[in-house]
Amino acid sequence: MIVTKPPGPKAKAILERDAEVSSRSMARVYPLVIGKTYDVNFEDVDGNRYIDFNSGIAVMNFGYSHPKITNAIKEQIENATHAAFLEYYSELPVKFSEELLHFMPYMDRVFLTNSGTESVEAAMKLSRYYTNRKYFVAFYGSFHGRSLGALSLTSSKIVHRKYFGPFLPTIHVPYANPYRCSFEAHIKSEDECADACLNYLENAVFKNEVSPDEVAAIFVEPVQGEGGYIVPPVSFLRGLREICDKYGILYVDDEVQAGCFRTGKFLGIEHFGIKPDIITLAKALGGGLPLGAMVTREEITNWPPGSHASTFGGNLISCAAGLAVLDIMRDKKLGEEVEQKGKYIMQHLMDLQKECRIVGNVRGLGLMIGLELVRDQGTKEPAVKERDAVIRDCFENGLALLPAGESTIRIAPPLVITKEDLDTALEILGKSLKKASKELLA
């Protein structure tokens, strides 16, 4: 519910202060200044109420004030906040690691971090140490973090990389995007797109650019996040597994955004029937507190004591929150409910696609849904300005959305969002899409 046109007077005052002190590297989509939070939604400082279709960038899967999480944090604060897990032993991080491994019974070892980027950095270092190889393979459209190592893998926007090189030796190759396949002129199906991407890696890259016996790991998102919420064909991810097995390359599954039941399963990769060698997690894992993990098998963790560590990794408050999050995720109905809500949203959006020429593609798994906008459904010309206008219009009408890819809207509400909120949000989005479609015809 909007009570004053955003940004209101209180928000404007904070925006002016922010402009004086915050790094210019920060890029906000619209002038939203969050004030109060209510379960899965929030108000800005001027009292405007918003339905959250972002989940704090897929972090607040269980809302902003889940009693189990907040109570765990309060109890731990009264006990201790930090125990230097890199130097001393502490039960809480150990217990969290034990419980986390229950969700991945084929894994044995956990390295605790503070973010997705740190989890990826740990995976990069371990991959190099274990294989004694220096190269990595990642994908166009990928996002794995912004620190220099993780940024070497990231390839979703040029602004992320411009002037920051040279990077660690990484080869980027096409990700199998069924809607916009890099080899589209020759492609007739999703599987053909997957085959073309896999063949390019094995028969072009490995024969002309880098030998596969120099590649330590392939880093892949089971669903590309920043790249546009792209769901690849099953055969693509399975084909990567086969290539890794063939050449002794580690398969690193980046679940920072897709993990923690965002797709309806604990790991997005579970939809594809694949067991990775290394898994990176963060975002929703800490229930709003900084907590990440790199998870792998016993035989891969051959690095010696002191080769990698973290001052705040295994922080007691974060681990307490994380344990509460894991406890919530044990609910056997959770994944089914996420998938049902996702199908409900997808069907609604596909119905809108029939009457809104601006809607080019609807895709997703669970509550990780991409809505790609185009100026023409035939040519698939990206509707970049129109996408941004739709997001701004929704913001001004009480719905918080974020972009992804060149012209995609990402839809990632809290997993516990109610049907009432879903219907209200979809109504706001539908009106904005219809408005944008009419303006295309004008």
Mean pLDDT throughout 348-364?
96
Q: At what angle do helices 316-328 and 91-101 cross, to 10 degrees?
A: 30
Question: What percent of the chain stands above pLDDT 90?
Answer: 97
Please report the pLDDT score of residue 441 as a whole number.
79
Mean pLDDT throughout 56-64?
96
Q: What is the DSSP string of 157-179?
A: -HHHHTT--PPSSEEEE----SS
Please report the pLDDT score of residue 41 as a whole number.
95
Distance CA 432, CA 193 (A): 33
Question: What percent of the chain stands above pLDDT 70?
Answer: 100
Please report the pLDDT score of residue 137 as a whole number.
98
- In the three-class reduction of DSSP (H, G, I as helix; E, B as strand; rest coil), residue 251 is classed as strand
Mean pLDDT throughout 265-288?
98
Asked whether the beta carbons of 395 and 32 are under 8 A apart, the reply is yes
Q: Distance of CA 317 to CAs 114, 232, 290, Å?
A: 12, 36, 9
Please report the pLDDT score of residue 440 as a whole number.
87
The structural domains of the chain, ordered by start, are 9-65+333-441 (3.90.1150.10), 67-328 (3.40.640.10)
Q: Is the full-model pTM beyond 0.75?
A: yes
pLDDT band at 163 (very low <50, low <70, confident <90, very high): very high
- Give which of 11, 42, 41 is closest to 28, Cα–Cα: 11
Asked whether the beta carbons of 349 and 432 are under 8 A apart, the reply is no
Please report the pLDDT score of residue 177 as a whole number.
97
Which residues lie below 8 Å from residue 390, measured CB to CB, with a gap of 6+? Answer: 358, 373, 401, 409, 429, 432, 433, 436
Q: Kindly tell me if the per-residue pLDDT of 55 is higher than 80.
A: yes
pLDDT band at 139 (very low <50, low <70, confident <90, very high): very high
Q: At what angle do helices 419-441 and 384-395 cross, to 10 degrees?
A: 140
Distance CA 364, CA 342 (A): 8
Asked whether the beta carbons of 135 and 210 are under 8 A apart, the reply is yes
pLDDT, one tens digit per residue, over 61-86 is 999 999 999 999 999 999 999 999 98
Q: Kindly tell me if the per-residue pLDDT of 362 is higher than 80.
A: yes
Amino acid at residue number 127: S
Distance CA 278, CA 296 (A): 5
pLDDT, one tens digit per residue, over 28-42 is 999 999 999 988 999
Mean pLDDT throughout 194-206?
97
Q: Give the burial class of 233: count Cβ atoms within 10 A of its Cβ; 0-12 exposed, 13-18 middle, 19 or more buried.
A: buried
Please report the pLDDT score of residue 189 as a whole number.
92
